[in-house]
Amino acid sequence: MALCAINKKGDAGAVLSDCGTYRYVLWRCWDDEKDWLIWIMLNPSIADGTQNDATIRRCMGYAKARGNGGISVYNLFALRATNTKEILAASDPVGPLNDHYLREIPKNRFVVCAWGANANHFQERVKVVKQILGGKLLIHLGMVRGQPRHPLRLAKTLSASPWALGSVRYINQSGYAPAVAL
């Protein structure tokens, strides 16, 4: 079971496991008239329905610079941890509902893949998530050791690049474009 924690203004929230061990999705909204930018990173840290961390602040800054009206954040692993070693040691770092929420990501929104080089420790999980993401509009902010870069130490003005998994994707001058199937 999952709990939804929403701040008093209703412009921020998160879906957490009952025990608070897992965070399945987090969102922030500053302009509901504009499209949101979706992020997929390695694992959640301390951010929740009301509290931001440095990574969430960076994702928000990048989305605002792009002209988006909000963000939603998903992860390869739902386990809330501040160190990759915690994921390696956990018996179930994915969490019982994480793949369900990943499958619910809309196909018509840009998804920034940003799980970073630490994902090289979890190649099987990366493969599973890539399969779940098939057919979505994937972009990244650069690659590091074969994985899409994590946003924390990147400039918020960095341009995104398309990332094709089984089909060709492109981004036009305004930053939006449909998928082109091969």
Block means of pLDDT (10 residues each) for the chain, 182 residues, are 74 94 97 96 93 95 94 98 95 98 93 96 96 92 94 82 62 42 24
Contact 35, 67 (CB under 8 A): no
Biggest alpha carbon–alpha carbon distance for the chain: 46
CA 39/CA 56 separation, integer angstroms: 10
Residue 161 in 3-state DSSP?
strand
CB atoms within 10 A of CB 77: 26
pLDDT of residue 156: 67
Residue written as token pair 């701040």: 7
In a domain, 179, yes or no: no
pLDDT of residue 179: 38
CA 61/CA 56 separation, integer angstroms: 9
In a domain, 177, yes or no: no
pLDDT of residue 180: 31
User: Which one-letter amino acid corresponds to residue 30?
Assistant: W
pLDDT of residue 170: 41
pLDDT of residue 10: 81
- Cβ contacts of 131 within 8 Å, gap of 6 or more: none
In a domain, 180, yes or no: no
In a domain, 178, yes or no: no
Domain encompassing residue 29: 2-167
CB atoms within 10 A of CB 7: 14
CA 138/CA 124 separation, integer angstroms: 19
Based on the structure, what is the number of domains in the chain? 1
In a domain, 182, yes or no: no
In a domain, 77, yes or no: yes
Contact 27, 44 (CB under 8 A): no
In a domain, 48, yes or no: yes
pLDDT of residue 53: 95
pLDDT of residue 182: 20
pLDDT of residue 158: 78
